[in-house]
Amino acid sequence: MTTNTQSGVRQVPDSRENLYRIGGILRRLFYSVIRAPLTTLGTLIFAMFLIFALFSGQIAPYEYDDDQISRRGDLQRLQEPECPLTFLFETDCKNPFGTDLAGSDVFSRIIHGSREVFRLAGFGTLVAVIVGSTVGMLIGYYGGLLDEVVGRLLDSLMSIPVLLLALVLIGALGENSNNILVVLIIVYSPIVARVVRSNVLEIRTHGFVEAAKLRGEWPGYILFREILPSVIPALVVEASLRFSYAIFLVASLGFLGLGADPPTPNWGLMVSEYRDDFGLAPWTLNYSAGTISLLVISVNLMSDGIKRIVQRSS
């Protein structure tokens, strides 16, 4: 074969196309940070909460139900916030966010609460994503009657408002923080399944999937090796979105007095309790409500950014 009939010229591929190498991913990450400061901020705040949750025992100065008053023998019933913004740097700051009427350290309760949030919302989302994407992949790939029946069922489940379905489930299962996990899985799996299904429907018509069929590959290989990687970007977007709603749902249920009993450091429950003390100790409500809002906003900023990045690269 002569050299000039075929491509003898090898060129260094354009850097912008180099999407699938680690270097390319890092470079893109860097650009994303510059382009989207809000996304970065959200991600950082989220990371902070994640650290709080993972190391709550080490970070929180007290247990969530420690009674400060008896421990310190202080006559003053309530401790106001001492150093809300600089607590990281002041070693002698005992109660950065003050204490509540029960004499517990609000900061500690919030830190312990973040563990509770990640335990319920994070774990619930994770299982919902796994269950939902498995169902979605199967009905999307096989289609036909299976898709018809399961799809209709999912549609019907999704037509029930999330909080309503959650309340019905709690009413039936009983109030219990583990039941909240079940609720999250039942409520969010169908939504994830829908998203995955529609992605699979598109990807399964691509040439590379058909080529795999022509090789006689078994469905498991096609689903996990050929299709799954292309679904993952959409799945990540959906998971981050679900996570933010899950935090929301867990907090709302706690606020309604369902699924958590005092003195569990559930943020929703804390807001509901501290609301009654607002006149005497406004900071308790302010810090607990503020924390929930901060976490949800940061997760939303993050998932918004992930969505943009995924959309841009596809």
Partner 1 sequence: MGRFLLRRFTFFIITMFITSIIIFGLTWFLPADPCQIKLQRDATEARLETCRDDLGLNEPPAAQYVSWALDFIQGDWGESFFTNEPVYDDVIQRLNNSARLGFVVLVITVPFAVFFGVIAGLNENGILDVSISVTTLALVSLPEFVTGIFLVETVAQGWAKDWTWLPWELRSTASAFDPEMSLYESLPFITLPALAATLVLLGYIARLTRAGVIEELKRDYVRTAELKGLPYWQVVIKHVLRNALLPTVTVIAISIGWLMSGLVVIEWVFNYPGLGRFLVDAVQQNDLPRIQAISMISVSIILFANFLADLLYGILNPRIRLGDE
Partner 2 sequence: MADILEVRDLDIDYRIDYRWRRAVSEFSLNVQSNQIYGIVGESGSGKSTVIQAIIRYLSKNGRISGGEILFNAEDLTRKSRRQMQKLWGNTMFMVPQNPFSSLNPSIRIGEQIAEILRVHTNLSRHEISQRVLKVLNQVRLPDPEKIMRRYPHELSGGQQQRVVLAMGFVTSPQLLLLDEPTTSLDVTTEAVILDLVRDLIEEMDTGAVYVTHNLGVVAQLCERVTVMYAGEIMEDSSVQELYAKPLHPYTIGLLASIPRFGQTKYDAPLHTIPGRPPGLGNHPLACVFADRCPVAIDICRTEKPSLETVLVNRRVRCHRWQEIASGELVVEQEYSSDLAITRREETENLLTIQNLTKHFNVRRDFVDVVTQFFDGDSTVEKIKAVNGVNLSIQRGHTLGLVGESGSGKTTLARVIIGLTNRTSGKIILKGVEIRDRVGTRRKETLKQLQMVFQNPQDSLNPYLSVGQAIKRPLLTLAGLSSSAAQQRAINLLEAVSLDASYMSRYPGELSGGEKQRVAIARAFASNPELIIADEPVSSLDVSVRSAVLNLLAHLQSEFDTAYLFISHDLADVTYLADFVAVMYLGEIFEVGYAADMGVAPMHPYTEALVSAIPVPDPRYEADEIRLRGDLPSPRNLPTGCLFHTRCPRKIGDICEQERPPWRDDGDDHFIKCHIPIDELIELQTEEA
Binding site for partner 1 (CB under 8 A): 38, 152-153, 155-157, 159-165, 167-175, 244, 248, 251-252, 255-258, 268, 271-272, 275, 278, 282, 285, 289, 292-293, 296-297, 299-301, 304
**Contacts (CB under 8 A) with partner 2, residues 93-132:** none
Q: Contact between 159 and partner 2 (CB under 8 A)?
A: no
Is residue 206 a contact point for partner 2 (CB under 8 A)? Answer: yes
- Picked from partner 1, partner 2, none, the partner binding residue 91 (CB below 5 to 8 A depending on kind) is none
Q: How far is the CB of 39 from partner 2 (least distance, A)?
A: 17
Answer yes or no: are the C-beta atoms of 55 and 256 closer than 8 Å. no
Q: Distance between alpha carbon 290 and the CA centroid of its chain, in Å? A: 18
Comparing CB distances to partner 2, the nearer of 89 and 215 is 215
Q: Which does 216 bind (CB under 5 to 8 A by kind): partner 1, partner 2, none?
A: partner 2
Give the interface segment with partner 2, choosing from 4-12, 120-128, 185-193, 270-278 (CB under 8 A): 4-12
Decide if residue 23 touches partner 2 (CB under 8 A).
no
In the list 213, 275, 276, 280, the residue contacting partner 2 (rule: CB under 8 A) is 213
Answer yes or no whether residue 30 interacts with partner 2 by CB under 8 A.
Answer: no
Residue 230, binding choice from partner 2, partner 1, none, Cβ under 5 to 8 Å by partner class: partner 2
Minimum distance, C-beta of residue 215 to partner 1, in the bound complex (Å) = 38
The least distance separating partner 1 from the CB of residue 251, rounded to whole angstroms, comes to 6
Look-up: residue for tokens 């006689």?
216
- Does position 2 interact with partner 2 (CB under 8 A)? The reply is yes
* Residues near partner 2, by CB under 8 A: 1-2, 4-11, 13-14, 16-21, 31, 148-149, 152, 206-208, 210-217, 225-226, 229-230
